[in-house]
Amino acid sequence: MVMVVEDDPFAAEMISTFVTKAGYESVVFGCAEQARKGLHAGFSAAVIDLHLPDGTGVELVRWLRVRQPGFPCIVVSADDRAAPAVVSIRSGANGFLSKPIDPETLRNELDSVCRVGRGLEDSGRMLWKSLEMRNLERLVSQAARTDFPVLITGPVGSGKRRFANWIHAASGRAAAKRYIVDLRRLEPTDAVKQLFGTKIAGTEIGVPNGLLKAGSKGTIVLDGIERLGKEGRWELLDYLAEQDDRPTSRAARLICLTEVETGDLAGAGFDTELLHRLSTVQIRPPGLQSIPEDIATWTRILLTEISISAGRSFPELTEGALSVLERHSWPGNLYELRKVLEGAVASSISLVLGEADIEEQIKAPAESNVAAFRPGSTKISELERLSLIAALKACKGNRRCAAARLGVSLRTVYNMIKRHGLDGFRIESR
């Protein structure tokens, strides 16, 4: 099935017809937001218009490639100049077609990119350079094709939740909900209620209002599985045993995350049988210090997310800036890398991040860094506000100039000013 993202009704109908004649089913989305909400594993590729009412096709391509690495995208545009095509390809698009679209050319492009999507491991188009990450990508792809429980271990900030999200997004359950239960934030009794519901006192009758008992067809991510109490572990073991007896009735797919190594879990008294059942598939994302050749890929992924959240254009990094990132040891892994990139984006008034921009953030006071590496500690809204203020100051308050510096539309700048209460913003005289 092919996702067609096009706001012009006539063009959308034409592209959809061509896609159907090429032998593929199609679903039309009128804007980027609809496409984001409708993304699921049933799609094998996307045909995206370069100009959308709520953004650009390039931005949507970046978003899709972050959510589903390797997802094939073809950008189409009435602008047949070389520049849009180059930008699209550099942003991750597999192809660029000029309007009016030739149906045979579109068919050939779809056949080509869909083969890439089905056989990513053999296509030579890997996102990752290290053998460790390439092997891990294959394991994620294999895990997504099954319903077996997955255990993801690894150091703080190594991206365990990301890998859980990628497995869900690439699985047959992607259209259903994905629930994240942070067991580190719940009391043991509350965790049992949330997962299994409650029982009527004095009976064995359960009230099926827990996630695992509610018949969810999605994915449940248990973060901090080592914190699940003894009662919860027994309930979970019983639940998995019931699913083994009735495999066709499996209600939800389980993905468990932990910073504790498997051997340490067993040594600490974690039930051996339960551990065995939960680790049918085991994944261990590496720390950044062990894969310096993939720091550039992680940087691209994080910068895409930061740009989308802040509503600004994707910044470029100089070779010097990338070299600084690759030389750093990254004790905070992805948490630390994201904080450095967010700080660089917020403090820079340019769309190019240089060596000095990165070094300044890495050398930030240690006490502020420690707090920053915790998940959820950085507020994108504040970074957006700081970026807006910096752009307005550099432009002496000129809104159009600020929009150009931020790489957004003038309307977006006015919306940002209103959102952050900067309507009365004035440049202080010296």
Q: For residue 298, what are its two tokens?
A: 């992680």
Q: Of the residues 286, 313, 342, which one is the last residue of a structural domain?
A: 286
Q: Is residue 279 located within the same domain as residue 296?
A: no
Mean pLDDT, range 386-401, rounded to an integer: 79
Largest CA distance in the chain: 77
Q: How confident is the model at residue 269 (pLDDT cuts 50, 70, 90)?
A: confident
In a domain, 114, yes or no: yes
**pLDDT one-digit tens code per residue, 356-382:** 989 988 886 443 444 443 444 344 566
Identify the pLDDT of residue 411. Answer: 77
In order, the DSSP letters of 99-120 are: SSPPHHHHHHHHHHHHHHHHTH
Q: Is the pLDDT of residue 159 over 70?
A: yes
Q: Is residue 67 located within the same domain as residue 33?
A: yes
Pairing of strands 281-283, 150-153: parallel
Mean pLDDT, range 60-67, rounded to an integer: 83
**pLDDT one-digit tens code per residue, 203-230:** 444 445 678 866 567 889 999 999 888 8
Contact by Cβ (8 Å): 305, 339:
no
DSSP 8-state code for residue 287? P
In a domain, 425, yes or no: no
- Number of H helices and E strands in the chain, helices first, is 20, 16
Percent of the chain with pLDDT over 90: 17
Identify the pLDDT of residue 372. Answer: 41
338: domain CATH number is: 1.10.8.60
Number of separate domains in the chain? 3
Mean pLDDT, range 333-342, rounded to an integer: 92
In order, the DSSP letters of 305-325 are: HHHHHHT-PPPEE-HHHHHHH
In a domain, 173, yes or no: yes
State the burial class of residue 182 (Cβ atoms within 10 Å of its Cβ: 0-12, 13-18, 19+).
Answer: middle
SS3 of residue 160 by DSSP: helix
Q: Is residue 259 located within the same domain as residue 220?
A: yes
Q: Which residue has the higher pLDDT, 327 or 365?
A: 327
Identify the pLDDT of residue 151. Answer: 95
Mean pLDDT, range 133-159, rounded to an integer: 87
Q: Is the pLDDT of residue 333 over 90?
A: yes
| Interhelix angle 295-310/319-327, nearest 10 degrees | 110
Q: Which of 202, 204, 262 is nearest to 238 (CA)?
A: 204
Nearest 5°: the CA angle 339, 144, 132 is 55
What's the one-letter identity of residue 95?
G
Pairing of strands 281-283, 316-317: unpaired
Q: Is the pLDDT of residue 201 over 60?
A: no
Mean pLDDT, range 68-92, rounded to an integer: 76
State the burial class of residue 380 (Cβ atoms within 10 Å of its Cβ: 0-12, 13-18, 19+).
Answer: middle
Mean pLDDT, range 257-284, rounded to an integer: 87
Identify the pLDDT of residue 371. Answer: 40
Q: How confident is the model at residue 396 (pLDDT cuts 50, 70, 90)?
A: confident
In a domain, 430, yes or no: no
E strand or H helix at 96: strand 95-98
Q: Is the pLDDT of residue 14 over 90?
A: no
Q: Which of 34, 231, 257, 43 is nearest to 155 (CA)?
A: 257
Identify the pLDDT of residue 5. Answer: 93
Identify the pLDDT of residue 119. Answer: 33
Which residues form the domain of 175? 131-286
